[in-house]
Chains A and B, each alone.
Chain A
Amino acid sequence: MLKLPSVPGATPPRPGTPAAEPKTKLDNAAEAATAALGWLDERTALSGTARFVMFRKVPKGTNWFYTLGTSTMFAFMSQVITGVILAMFYDPSPNRAYESMRYINNDVWAGQFVHGMHRWGATVMVIFIFLHMGRTFFFGAYKYPRELNWVIGVLLVLLVMIMAFTGYLLPWDQRAYWATAVGVNIFASAPIAGPYLGDFLRAGPDFGATTLSRFYSIHMLVLPGLIMGLIGAHLYLVIKHGTTAPPWVTAELDEELRSEEV
């Protein structure tokens, strides 16, 4: 059985224990918090799960490269938060999109900053996801029994690329427009399916009023939902399996076990 450390202060003092010292305000606050958590835990039994998730054993040799997955997740969370704020001001109609971006950058308080975080954050997330992918590849962490997590990771990397593609159109300036026109035509250059895919992405044969809203809906509703779901599955498997030791860490042989084997 996996032995889990107890959460400090999780068990309230037994009734009837004589108080050694008069309680301070801090003690009272701690007791109230413990009681509230205890109330919640009694009804959800979440503390076991929380401990299981947070106090996992990690293999010897775990190093900074193991933080790249969490960094990707952090970048994603930052994209979600800044994206939600941008959506409060952005208007995905062809006549208003560019104007609303200008308004965000020039007039909204900290608008340029939030926009910049979202724009640079997108690049950061793509860089992190590839570094993380490289880490799991070079550490051999994709091997049995973690193949499924690699497959989920490949789906995530694809979704993140589509995220970047659909987001690039939204500023609706000359660069966004022509870069996306070229991008859609690259999709459309696939034989047989290409022409239909191009029309699907553009919502018709030409860029039009609904192209932008289509990209916007994919960018801010469809993909974030899918990515959140897949990150959930990804982390579930990470916790279920535990992480891999680096390839240069080998198991120590127990001489006693070896002698019994013979």
Chain B
Amino acid sequence: MTGLANGGGGIAIGMIAVPALGFALAPNLDKKPLAWEAVGTPEEFSQDTYVSRTITLTPGAGETGKSTVYMRARNAEIDKEPVDDYNQFIAISTRCMHLGCPVRYVDASERFICPCHGGVYDFLGQVQGGPPVRPLDRFYTRIKDGLVEVGPRFSVNSELKRFSPRDPAQDLDGIGQYLFPSRPTIRKLPGT
């Protein structure tokens, strides 16, 4: 009788706790759909400077869901990563890899500068100074129907090797990639 009452109570608590916790944790497990967004024609992007474009990171959040990306065409002289379908154009994220403030590209110095704690990145987005732990994130790009499209985000380590996207402050060199596991929900594109 006591066992039955305790068991019943346990089931009742579980019936509330499981859905409630599941509800709160669901966003950790929700797969993000792949989205590509056209940002212009190939002629709009040059090899030796960046232009800014606005893309939507999170649909349904209005202005808040949008973000600036800096774009240029691939320049074989400086971009040494192997060519594939996704890096004809370079799209650099403005999210500072120290703690996530918005960096801006300064044409005169050919650097990305962060207003928050003095992070500085060179033309390729690699860390030149300040507290950031890895180069600026990038986005996949492709050409479709004559337009340049920006796709999902990926992160890079100090050799600009692609990784599934990580949050700022998560180092990707050495054991960093194991200390900061990638999320199950957004991965880099297979085979890249």
Interface residue A206 (Cβ < 8 Å from any Cβ of B): yes
A124 interface hit (Cβ, 8 Å): no
Give the docked Cα–Cα distance between A178 and B180 (Å): 22
Task: Scan residues 177-208 of chain A and give those whose CB is less than 8 A from a CB of chain B.
Answer: 177-178, 181-182, 184-186, 188-189, 191-192, 194-196, 198-200, 202-208
Q: Contact between B168 and A185 (Cβ–Cβ < 8 Å)?
A: yes
Q: A192-B181, A195-B180, A205-B185 are in contact. Are A182 and B116 (CB under 8 A)?
A: yes
- B153 to chain A minimum Cβ distance, whole angstroms, is 8
B61 touching A200, Cβ below 8 Å: no
Query: In this complex, what residue of A is CB-closest to B169?
Result: A189
Judged by a CB distance under 8 angstroms, whether A38 is at the interface is no
Q: How many A-B residue pairs have CB under 8 A?
A: 93
In the complex, are the beta carbons of B65 and A200 less than 8 A apart? no
User: Closest residue of chain B to A218, judged by CB?
Assistant: B24
A161 → B minimal CB distance (Å) = 18
B30 on interface, CB distance cutoff 8 Å: yes
Query: For residues 148 through 192 of chain B, which have their beta carbon under 8 Å from a beta carbon of chain A?
Result: 165-170, 179-183, 185-186
How far is it, in angstroms, between the C-alpha of A172 and the C-alpha of B59 when the chains are bound? 18
Q: How far is the CA of A77 from the CA of B84 in the complex (A)?
A: 61
Task: Give complex CA distance A205, B28 in Å.
Answer: 8
Contact with A along B14-44 (1 / 0, CB 8 A): 0000000000110110101000000000000
Residue from the list B24, B61, B99, B181 in contact with A209, Cβ < 8 A: B61
Chain A residues with CB below 8 A from B179, complex form: 191-192
Which chain A residues border B27 with CB–CB below 8 Å?
Answer: 199-200, 202-204, 210
Residues of B within 8 A of A191 (CB): 179-180
- Give the one of A185, A191, A210 with max B CB within 10 A: A185
Q: Looking at the complex, which one of B58, B62, B183 makes contact with A195 (CB distance below 8 Å)?
A: B183
| B2 within 8 Å of A (CB atoms) | no
Binding site for A on B (CB under 8 A): 24-25, 27-28, 30, 32, 57-58, 60-65, 99-102, 116, 165-170, 179-183, 185-186
Per CB-CB distance, the 7 closest pairs between chain A and chain B, nearest first, are A189-B169, A208-B58, A191-B179, A203-B27, A188-B167, A95-B62, A182-B99
8 pairs of residues in contact across A and B, judged by CB atoms under 8 Å? A172-B64, A182-B101, A185-B100, A185-B168, A186-B169, A204-B185, A205-B165, A206-B57
